[in-house]
Amino acid sequence: MIRKCLFPAAGYGTRFLPATKAMPKEILPILNKPLIQYGVEEALEANLNHIAIITGRGKRALEDHFDISYELEHQISGTSKEVHLSDIRQIIDQCTFSYTRQIEMKGLGHAILVGETLIGNEPFSVILADDLCVGEGTGVMSQMLKIYEKYRCSILAIQEVDESEVHKYGVIAGHQLDDGIYMVSDMVEKPDPADAPSNLAIIGRYVLTPDIFDILRRTTPGKNGELQITDALKTQAQEGMVLAYKFNGKRFDCGSVDGFVSATNYFYELSKNNSD
Ligand code: UTP
């Protein structure tokens, strides 16, 4: 059974400068909740309560968010404001949090490799908190774990994107095995639309088998010296089996200003409808 969920959260978040100069991108709120909390709630819904976070310099707020703030709690204890902390208190009660730092930001693949010390030799899941997902029926990670139970191999979440957008993503080539499930044969990172093997783009949710760590160790860094998870997954697909899953639900790219604003509008409408 998979219990651990890794959150790589060491990136600089340059697209949100100057907001991210002194504050982690993952703490930026959609309404009144930080991005990372949405991700942890999705993990918990999938019964993943060992939360492992890859942090970096300037990311202390992540640790403080998932901890008790005695002064604040003392101040609002017994008042009507206490209710605003009930969700985060429940998360803190139900999860264990472990952290390690990525000293140099050498890419997502490198961040995942740094996480080996927290994960060990077992399958695990990965959530990129800046991809905010709203599952249909169940959460996206729950949907992926169901597929893992059947196939027992690494699984990537994919989404159909417009042809003009493929250059922003890793894109898969493969054939359909089952409804929404593809056997991956190849992957291309940020292709020109003319060279893209499909419009099925990889988004920030993965279930990974632990052999990925050895594969990452023998993967040569690509552009800007960054170790790409896509390159390691390509090897894993060629040596074994990797599946891609077209999930049911929505996803907001909150690493970009446009996606962040769309998510804000979506959750604002939702909260207004719920309070009516
Ligand atoms: P992004 O590509 O969104 O990079 O990383 P970024 O630095 O966060 O943002 P921009 O592009 O500069 O605006 C995707 C995910 O991988 C993590 C990020 O924290 C984010 O969750 N990441 C990326 C790391 O943890 N370490 C890295 O070296 C790179």
User: What digits encode the pLDDT tens for the residues 14-55?
Assistant: 999 999 999 999 999 999 999 999 999 999 999 999 999 999
104 CA: nearest ligand 1 atom: 28
According to the model, what pLDDT value does residue 64 have? 95
- How many domains would you assign to the chain? 1
Whichever domain contains 19, its CATH number is: 3.90.550.10
Residue from 6, 12, 25, 108 whose mutation best tests the ligand 1 pocket (most atoms within 8 A of CB): 108
What does pTM read for this prediction?
A: 0.96
Burial status of residue 79 (CB atoms within 10 A of its CB: 0-12, 13-18, 19 or more)? exposed
Burial status of residue 183 (CB atoms within 10 A of its CB: 0-12, 13-18, 19 or more)? middle
According to the model, what pLDDT value does residue 155 have? 98
Residue-averaged pLDDT of the chain: 95
Q: How confident is the model at residue 276 (pLDDT cuts 50, 70, 90)?
A: confident
Q: Distance from the CA of 129 to the center of ligand 1, in angstroms? A: 10
Give the pLDDT confidence of 134-184 residue by residue, as tens digits.
Answer: 999 999 999 999 999 999 999 999 999 999 999 999 999 999 999 999 999
Q: How confident is the model at residue 82 (pLDDT cuts 50, 70, 90)?
A: confident
7 CA: nearest ligand 1 atom: 21
Q: Which domain holds residue 23?
A: 4-275
Give the pLDDT confidence of 224-237 residue by residue, as tens digits.
Answer: 789 999 999 999 99
